[in-house]
Structure 1
Amino acid sequence: MVPLLLALAAAAPQTVEGLWLNDDKKGLVQIAPCGTKVCGRIVKVLSRDPKAPKTDVHNPDPALRGRGFVGLPVLTGFQRSGGSWTGGRAYDPESGKSYRSTLSLNPDGSLRVTGCVLFICESRRWTRVR
């Protein structure tokens, strides 16, 4: 069993780059290089709730509240640091808040997105689509 797990771990992608389904399954985020760092943008909205906003209405900057969700940057400024990606920010369009954040791959290939305010941190699990 252990050799099989080691083989699977070796075969799993060792990068956060790719297409990810977020934890609440409301959107797909493409994580890719942006300059010398790694960033993520919403590429598809999956929520079918007719009452859900169609634009970034909760953004603290009134000038950005009219922008649509597709193309919206939700992960910015991450740099690889050992086995994780640090120094970035995660933006939550449902609240309009941005958090200090880290990204790391879980042993099962999922992505742990951790956002922090002061010393309080919370993690979400995203699933790789490709």
Structure 2
Amino acid sequence: MACRYVFTIAILAALLAAPSARAQGAGEPTGTWLTQAGDARVRVSKCGSGICGVIVGLREPNDPATGKPQVDDKNPNPALKRRPMIGLPLFSGMSPTGPAKWSGQIYNADDGSTYASNVSLTGPDTLRVEGCVGALCGGENWTRVGR
């Protein structure tokens, strides 16, 4: 009888723990993330039902040629070419598409273009960020560096 009691308690404990394990598995992408190349830190936060991402730090915050803070000089819109890189929004319209998954658009400051994007939390400290042009997609893994 004691063996049956221990078994029942073990199953009950597993069932009670299961919902919280699923919730932790889905996780939230909020926090600060280091890009795969390590050249930028991006703060991801909730925006309505979706998420936003903003550059909060750069490996090289100043332009080596001018010594001044980096700006969005690749942007095709002349009015936006002088906006600072730190504070630059990267995600737009990122809405949930499933557990720990969002879709929307991502701005690429390296070429000044905006791409269709999918973002997914693949682990507690790994964010998969993908961008697509038509059927051609590429992506990278960002690492969580702060909550």
- Structure 1 runs (4+) deviating above 2 angstroms are 10-13, 34-37
Compute the displacement of 1:107 (Å). Answer: 3.4
Structure 2 residue aligned with 1:65, among 74, 78, 81?
81
Aligned to 1:85: 102
2:90 counterpart SS class: strand
CA contact 1:12–1:109 (8 Å) conserved in 2: no
Residue 19, structure 1, aligned to residue 32, structure 2: yes
Q: Which moved more, 1:89-98 or 1:101-110?
A: 101-110
In structure 2, distance between residues paired with 1:19 and 1:101: 19
Given residue 70 of structure 1, which amino acid in structure 2 is its aligned partner?
I
Given residue 69 of structure 1, which amino acid in structure 2 is its aligned partner?
M
Mark the runs of 5 or more structure 1 residues left unpaired by the alignment.
1-6
How many residue pairs get aligned? The number is 121
In structure 2, distance between residues paired with 1:27 and 1:118: 26
Aligned to 1:44: 57
In structure 1, distance between residues paired with 2:85 and 2:53: 12
Q: 1:106 to 1:37 in 2, by over 3 A?
A: closer
Mark the runs of 5 or more structure 2 residues left unpaired by the alignment.
1-17
Q: For the aligned residues, what is the CA RMSD?
A: 2.2
In structure 2, distance between residues paired with 1:14 and 1:108: 7
Structure 1 residue aligned with 2:123, among 107, 112, 115?
107
Bigger Cα Rg = 2
Aligned to 1:3: none
Compute the displacement of 1:51 (Å). Answer: 4.0
In structure 2, distance between residues paired with 1:76 and 1:65: 18
Considering fraction of residues, name the structure with more helix: 2
Given residue 77 of structure 2, which amino acid in structure 1 is its aligned partner?
D
Compute the displacement of 1:15 (Å). Answer: 1.2
Q: Percent identity?
A: 38
CA contact 1:13–1:109 (8 Å) conserved in 2: no
Output the TM-score relative to the length of structure 2. Answer: 0.73
